[in-house]
Amino acid sequence: MTLRCQPWSRADKRADKENLLTPEVRAEIDAWLAKYPDEWKQSAVMAALRIVQEHNGGWLTRELMDQVADYLDMPPIAVYEVATFYSMYETKPVGRHKICVCTNVSCMIRGADRIVEHLENKLGIRMGETTGDGRFTLKEVECLGACGGAPMFQIGKQYYENLTPELVDSILENLEADDGE
């Protein structure tokens, strides 16, 4: 069985690709597509989903995933599989700041539980929830590859390591300052 892109059976019914996504998003995806041969377009699916998610307030709608599938000549199910497998993608709305807390082995041994408890108390939400003002989402994730700095979490593209409750407070205060609050 080949994994190469074959014109998918819905191809004839597909909207003109010019009508898919926005020109800005298409341009960013095209930059990734340029790295792969035409028959391996699906190799850009992770980048495409990340780009689309960033342009949609941090989450992916079914319609957007379908458009990515059409743009990359993939069956929608193959795109859903990627979007629901990796923790970096969201299929429901999230807060402005998504705090991805690692609770895997190294972080657990180094006190991730204490960090989770502190965050939940401080923000008044549990893991998987978003604050009522839409500013913070708490998400539990597996190892983010920064075990040497455990316990750690990720917010946006930034890693925060060797966390303590005091450091968490300071990070949240800085985010509030950045938000102008």
Output 41 or 110, the one with its CB closest to ligand FES.
110
CB 67 within 8 A of CB 45: no
Q: Is residue 107 at the binding interface for ligand FES, with CB under 6 A as the rule? A: yes
Cα gap 95→63, rounded to integer Å: 20
CB 10 within 8 A of CB 33: no
* Shortest distance, position 141 Cβ to ligand FES, whole Å: 9
Cα gap 56→180, rounded to integer Å: 22
* Shortest distance, position 146 Cβ to ligand FES, whole Å: 4
Q: Is residue 152 at the binding interface for ligand FES, with CB under 6 A as the rule? A: yes
Output 5 or 88, the one with its CB closest to ligand FES.
88
Q: Is residue 105 at the binding interface for ligand FES, with CB under 6 A as the rule? A: yes
CA distances from 69 to 105, 117, 168, 173 (A): 35, 39, 39, 40
Count CB-CB contacts under 10 A for residue 113: 12
* Shortest distance, position 94 Cβ to ligand FES, whole Å: 21
How many chain residues are in contact with ligand FES, going by CB under 6 A?
Answer: 12
Side by side, the strands of the sheet bearing 136-141 are: 136-141, 97-102, 153-155, 158-160
Interactions with ligand FES, residue window 17-56 (CB under 6 A) = none
* Shortest distance, position 145 Cβ to ligand FES, whole Å: 6
Q: Is residue 131 at the binding interface for ligand FES, with CB under 6 A as the rule? A: no
Query: What residue ranges bind ligand FES (CB under 6 A)?
Result: 102, 104-107, 143-147, 150, 152
